[in-house]
Amino acid sequence: MKLFVGLGNPGAEYAFNRHNVGFMAADAIAATHGFPAWRKRFQGVASEGKFGREQVMLLKPQTYMNESGRSVGEAVRFYKLDLDDVVVFHDELDLVPGKVRVKAGGGVAGHNGLRSITAHIGNDYVRVRIGIGHPGSRELVKNWVLHDFVKSDRDWLEPLLGAVAKAAPDLAEGGNDKFQSFVAHAMHMEAEAADELPVPAPRGRRDSPSSESEKPTIPEGPFGKLRRWFGA
């Protein structure tokens, strides 16, 4: 059994905060791999499925970020999990938007969700650090993480969540480096594709697009609520 934990705050007012990108990753994994509906468990909501022969539980603590360890600790004790079976998806200020890094153990870097988990289960669990960028000043951090992504973030957020979801089976199998490489490659290809998009021709030119279908389009996101929020 693997426990995949997405960190965030419960409630509609927090749903698209930068701090909630861990919840978004868990939702993307559940939707992409056809996991069943979320149900209340371990002071959170959980959904359980399989990647090949590996059983995986997705967990979104509903205790608010600062008390995430209460929920995670219950699940770890119930299933008697080793810490290398626990994978936590969380926002990371020290990575630029769209970058992902995976590591086992290490410091909590001021992240209150990680601090709570470490206090309840120990420190040697796996972290999937999802870059949200830094506002530039320590005084601005709280406002930054507790405000929504802006619509221009869609350019990297949707493909990133899609890549994280697609590569999630590698994490379940212990292939942390393989997962990280896949996501990095997917984002590199996305950036290259964006650079190669044709510049729209001025009106009246014969080579301008003749229909909406010929214009560059944004691919379908990994789960509906994110796409609806972005207004597509």
Q: Between 154-172 and 176-195, two packed helices, what is the crossing angle to 10 degrees?
A: 160
- Is 19 a catalytic site residue? yes
Annotated catalytic residue within 19, 90, 147, 188: 19
Would you name the residues annotated as active-site residues? 19
